[in-house]
Amino acid sequence: MGMKSYLKRVVKYIIKEHKASIVKPEIVQKTPSEMLKNKNILITGGGHGLGYYMAKKLASENAKVIITGRSEEKLKKAVNEIGNDIEYMVYDVKKCDTNFIKTIYDKFGQIDCLINNAGISLHEDNMLNVTLEGFQNQFDTNLKGAYFLAQEYIKEIRKRKQKKGNIIFISSERGNQCDDIPYGLTKVAMNSLVEGMSRRFYREGIRVNAVAPGITASDMTNIKREEDLYCDYNASRRFFMPEEVAEIVAFMVSDCSQCISGEVIHCDAGNHLNPWFK
């Protein structure tokens, strides 16, 4: 440490009246099969689409996965197909049940990572087609539900004196673009929320990030994974597969990414960027 830096710390100590702390970060390095071992991960909207493939990937990395959704039939089907250490609980994020996170903790011990994935899009094309009911439904599911689930998770972490927490929001490339329909607007707000929460809670050991996929073959987009994925208006010239996004999510869940917080990780080959050239 140089003399200038040392003097700054001494001055800070005198002004703030506290002892300057010595920080020694833990460097985490793990083999792929050990990255998520002994972690309990809660995924909303995990019965189908992107949530399903995230659950499948995380379970394959030895995590304990709990998936939620509104349809018990879809949840049961997902659990039977994945077949690893995975369970489900029927839950509608729009209800904002303040006891839900506590129920998960009481049953599974703790939650190491909350993945706010549940979301809907009504594909209205432009604001003239948006209804009041549709607007409310998308905001309640995509933003309000995720917001209050994250709030309850943080409260439970504090209550139980859990040393670490991890929240991942599933955003979209639309979150970095101007928009006039509810789906895109919820993702814009979500990206801001990620940054705000990270600044507020990282010092408590709680990381907050978002993963923002491009257009992905899923139930929401109606793009069939077995068909031609060519797309001329994407920077990648193709649509993406949910397994690709799940790989990024697995890294963000792991402690190997512990220095990353407040970030929106785009999985769209840079399609959200707006270059001056074409």
Question: What digits encode the pLDDT tens for the residues 167-222?
Answer: 999 999 999 999 999 999 999 999 999 999 999 999 999 999 999 999 898 888 88
Q: Of all residues in the chain, what percent carry a pLDDT higher than 90?
A: 75
Backbone torsions φ then ψ of 207, nearest 5 degrees: -90, 145
Please, what is the average pLDDT of the chain?
91
Amino acid making up residue 56: K
Burial per residue of 6-43, b for 16 or more beta-carbon CB atoms within 10 angstroms, e otherwise: eeeeeeeeeeeeeeeeeeeeeeeeeeeeebbeebbbbb
Q: What is the mean pLDDT of residues 62-91?
A: 96
Residue 163 has pLDDT above 90, yes or no: yes
Handedness of CA 29, 33, 34, 38 (dihedral sign): positive
Q: Which of 116, 77, 119 is nearest to 221 (CA)?
A: 119
CB neighbours (10 Å) of residue 128?
8
pLDDT for position 183: 97
Residue 8 pLDDT more than 80?
no
Binned at pLDDT 50, 70 and 90, residue 34 comes out as: confident
Region for residue 222 given its phi and psi (left: phi exceeds 0; alpha: psi -120 to 50; beta: otherwise)? left
Domain spanning 32-267: CATH 3.40.50.720: yes
Question: Which tens digits make up the pLDDT trace of 217-264?
Answer: 888 888 888 888 898 888 889 989 999 999 999 999 999 999 999 999
Alpha-carbon distance of 50 to 34, in angstroms, equals: 23
Q: What pLDDT does 278 receive? A: 64
Q: What is the mean pLDDT of residues 87-115?
A: 96
Give the per-residue pLDDT at 35. 84
The dihedrals phi and psi of 185, each to the nearest 5 degrees, come to -65, -35
Confidence tier at 24 by pLDDT (50, 70, 90): low
Q: How confident is the model at residue 1 (pLDDT cuts 50, 70, 90)?
A: low
Q: Name the token pair of 129.
A: 């087609």
Domain ranges of the chain: 32-267
pTM comes to: 0.88
How far apart are the C-alpha atoms of 76 and 85, rounded to whole Å?
13
Instruction: Give the pLDDT band (50/70/90) at residue 12.
Output: low
pLDDT of residue 9: 66
Does residue 41 contact residue 104 with C-beta atoms inside 8 Å?
Answer: no
